[in-house]
Amino acid sequence: MTIKSDREQQIQQSWEANADAWRRAIDQNLIASRRAATDEAIVQAVLRCGHRRVLDVGCGEGWLGRALAKHGVEVVGVDASCGLIDRACEKSSGCFRAIGYDEIIADPLIVGQSYDGIVCNFSLLGEEIGDLLRSLRQATVSNGHLLIQTVHPCTACEQQPYVDGWKIETFDNFGGDFREPMPWYFRTVSSWFQQVSASGWKVCKIEEPIHPQTKLPLSLLLICQESDHYK
């Protein structure tokens, strides 16, 4: 097994080990950046795009599906963590399924079709995301959108060299008893653009939700559509 696949496996193991702690953090609204801007940013982005049927990729315990349902948006959520999917099903009557990224890559139709919006909200954590993004093109309608929200590279690099590479999330600022740290792959802004365009998408708009007090960017939000070359 390669180092790369070891790290990808560690991401999955971390989410399974930390499922209960993550659920508590969401239920108790313990994550400051989410409270400040990022939750509302992704909800409003979906609504501005006019989406009526959305695929939430890496949906976790399903908070986004519940939030969008209040606005009449149909959401299907998929996540590799069975523990988080169980929680999503407990808290909502929506459609949530335990499906891993490798399964989507192997069979893109496993998640269904005809979505006018696909959301990856802080859920593209590994180094190899190109195959997944390419597969998700098959799930969208013509002129549908892919919305990617991720940590803002300029603040997430934390005085470290501004280059692509693996980092470790310890969840120290998330509250609760997180049992295992999680590796995640840091990308520069230009690297995000390259990954998206190489996967058959084009970035149509960039948003940078900021903290209302510090005015520092909390996330990078890419609003994408399928590239004309691949239609």
Specify the long-range contacts of residues 183-189, CB closer than 8 Å, at least 24 apart. 183/7, 183/10, 183/11, 183/14, 184/11, 184/125, 184/126, 185/7, 185/125, 185/126, 185/127, 186/151, 186/153, 186/156, 186/157, 187/150, 187/153, 188/153, 188/162, 188/163, 188/164, 189/153, 189/154, 189/220
> Which residues are bridge partners to 201 per DSSP?
226
C-alpha to C-alpha distances, 39 to 108, 169, 216, nearest whole angstrom: 27, 19, 16
Distance CA 213, CA 36 (A): 9
pLDDT computed for residue 230 by the predictor: 65
Q: Which of 2, 4, 32, 3 is nearest to 125 (CA)?
A: 4
C-alpha to C-alpha distances, 123 to 54, 75, 120, 126, 159, nearest whole angstrom: 15, 16, 5, 9, 24
158 is in which domain, residue-wise? Answer: 3-230
Distance of CA 87 to the CA centre of its chain: 18
Count structural domains, the chain: 1
CB neighbour list of residue 51: distance below 8 Å, 6 or more residues apart: 73, 116, 117, 145
Asked if residues 144 and 226 have their Cβ atoms less than 8 Å apart, the reply is yes
pLDDT computed for residue 2 by the predictor: 46
Coil, strand or helix: which one is 207?
strand
pLDDT tens-place string over residues 13-54: 999 999 999 999 999 999 999 999 999 999 999 999 999 999
CATH number at residue 85: 3.40.50.150
> Which residues are bridge partners to 185 per DSSP?
166
pLDDT tens-place string over residues 149-207: 999 999 999 889 999 999 999 999 887 789 999 999 999 999 999 999 999 999 999 99
pLDDT computed for residue 159 by the predictor: 86
pLDDT of 1 higher than 80: no
**Which pLDDT band holds residue 117 (cuts at 50, 70, 90)?**
very high
